[in-house]
Amino acid sequence: MLVVDENNQLGIDESGFMDESDFNTPISILHNDIFQLFSETNIFMYKIYDLLSPNANDLIGLFFVGVYIKIHKQIQSAAVLLSRGLEEETKIMLRSILDKLFIMRAIYNDKDNFDKLLSHHNFERRSLNNAIKNKLPGLEKLPYNKNLPKGNRTSMKQWANLANMDARYNVVYRLFSTNIHCSLSSLESDLSIKDGSPYMIDICPHFEETAKLLLTILDDAFNTIDIIVNYFGIDKSEYNSLKDRIMVYQNNEFNK
């Protein structure tokens, strides 16, 4: 939770950005066992920071730490949303997590893929730079740089393939894209239709998929943790214990 120290500086405790209220909502209580398991996982992820010792010359190690931090924050955000019945918003967050996890896992699988990431960033920068050169609306005052290097684009589908996570791409990433974009299927989830006409606007909490979504969050968390503990040689005793417990819930929930 957020805390203020003796110097009146704002910080966080061992639970990070989450506090007791996130685990005491009606939805959290309904799925108490899995939310408590998430709480333990979240605390474990914070413990890992104290065990990290990246080398300043290890660009890939530094990259992994940076992505780990971002994914960890988004994992907490997703759990908070889910505890309030905001399932669609949770799906949007889960898709954003995969944007990072696919690349992180691909580079862990093959360090040469880091060069693909650098090339992709050059491609994106050059694309924006060309838009600036053409003075597209809103970009007229930005400086044009004629010396930017070229690059090659790598799609998210390609990153998922390099990560050996094609199933995750197809089942989660593609499926949840409808929640991000203004798709008809997404809009229909908030309107109840009867005899061809809307008869109710649904602004209530949604919790029908809470267990599955929370277990998906945990799966992303452990996929991320797995990269970190293996790359930095961190003891896996607590990791294995938590992972085994999560797998029990996953087997029960996804094999119904």
Per-residue pLDDT reduced to its tens digit, 169-187 = 998 888 877 666 555 565 5
* Residue 27 confidence (pLDDT): 97
Q: Give the C-alpha separation, 31 to 24, whole Å.
A: 10
Task: Please state, for a pLDDT cut of 90, what percent of the chain lies above it.
Answer: 72
Letter for the amino acid at 33? D
Q: Evaluate if residue 48 carries a pLDDT over 60.
A: yes
Mean pLDDT confidence for 23-37: 96
At residue 3, the 3 state secondary structure works out as strand
Q: Give the C-alpha separation, 127 to 19, whole Å.
A: 42
What is the pTM for the complete model shown?
A: 0.90
Q: Give the C-alpha separation, 191 to 210, whole Å.
A: 20
pLDDT tens-digit profile of 105-116? 999 999 999 999
**How much of the chain is helix, strand and coil, in % rounded to 5?**
65, 5, 30
Six-digit token string for 137: 């609306």
* Residue 84 confidence (pLDDT): 96
Mean pLDDT confidence for 1-26: 92
Q: To which H or E segment does residue 194 belong?
A: strand 191-194
pLDDT tens-digit profile of 181-217? 555 565 566 666 666 666 667 778 889 999 999 999 9
Please identify which residue in the block is written with the tokens 């209220």: 21
Q: Give the C-alpha separation, 75 to 227, whole Å.
A: 16
Q: To which H or E segment does residue 176 belong?
A: helix 174-180
pLDDT tens-digit profile of 148-173? 999 999 999 999 999 999 999 998 88
Report DSSP state, residue 208. T
> What residue ranges do the domains of the chain occupy?
16-254
